[in-house]
Amino acid sequence: MKKFLRRFKKYQPESFWTKRGKTLYSDNPYDDEGYKKQTKLVLDYLKSLDFSTVLEFGCGYGRYTKLLLENFKIDYYLATDLSSDLVNQARDLTKDFDNVTFKVGMIHDLDIDSKFDLVFGTEVLQHVKNEDIKSCIDKLVNLSKKHVVNVDSYIDSDSVDLAFHCFNHNFEKIYSGNKSVNKVRRIRLPVFDHSLYHVTVN
């Protein structure tokens, strides 16, 4: 049924997430045990990495933004999202930190000159359309000096029934096609069919 609906319901990321951004914080889908478990696993993994500057793409209302600022020594943190409502909520959530800056924009349109030790995002790339995913990943890799980490759903199957705003990308294959990528590691998480992808760059 979802595949049938996908054919007739056109997905426009900017308009979809701009609208969704107005209610995401109040709906708070992340306030359950599964997401709390996921968050702990992700933070524990990040503790094994060396970084002092962070670019977070798709920061939402700032749940990971705040957690990283609280748990790591970070000199500079840039968080982005295409929803201005979510960016405003994230800015308010992290108002006690003076080392974080926010920017509104889609990944492949971001005009950023700096490179970052860690480029990080959760449940963002699975919402990028098939025709845009390679350029988005190339952009993220290009913005990293050391690490790219994304947490997204990928199901090893040719027959996947997804919501119209979700896409089943083979991240390992896409990352591996970038000449600046040194290594790709996939860690399957025990919640929501999600995997953590850790990419090291040359």
CATH number of domain containing 156: 3.40.50.150
63-71 vs 84-93: helix crossing angle, rounded to 10: 30
Contact between 41 and 64 (Cβ < 8 Å) = no
The pLDDT of residue 69 is above 60: yes
pLDDT tens, residue by residue, 102-146: 999 988 888 899 999 999 999 999 999 999 999 999 999 999 999
**Portion of the chain with pLDDT greater than 70, in percent:** 93
pLDDT mean over 45-69: 97
Residue 154 domain boundaries: 2-201
Question: What is the structure's pLDDT at 159?
Answer: 64
pLDDT mean over 150-176: 88
* Maximum alpha-carbon separation in the chain: 48
* Beta strands 116-122 and 194-201, pairing class: unpaired
pLDDT tens, residue by residue, 89-106: 999 999 999 999 999 998
Domain count, the chain: 1
pLDDT mean over 143-165: 87
Q: φ and ψ at 121, to 5 degrees? A: -160, 150
> How far is 202 from 112, CA to CA, in rounded Å?
19
Lowest mean pLDDT among 20-24, 47-51, 91-95: 20-24
Across all residues in the chain, what is the average pLDDT?
91
> How far is 178 from 169, CA to CA, in rounded Å?
15
- Model confidence pTM above 0.95: no
The pLDDT of residue 193 is above 90: no
The pLDDT of residue 72 is above 50: yes
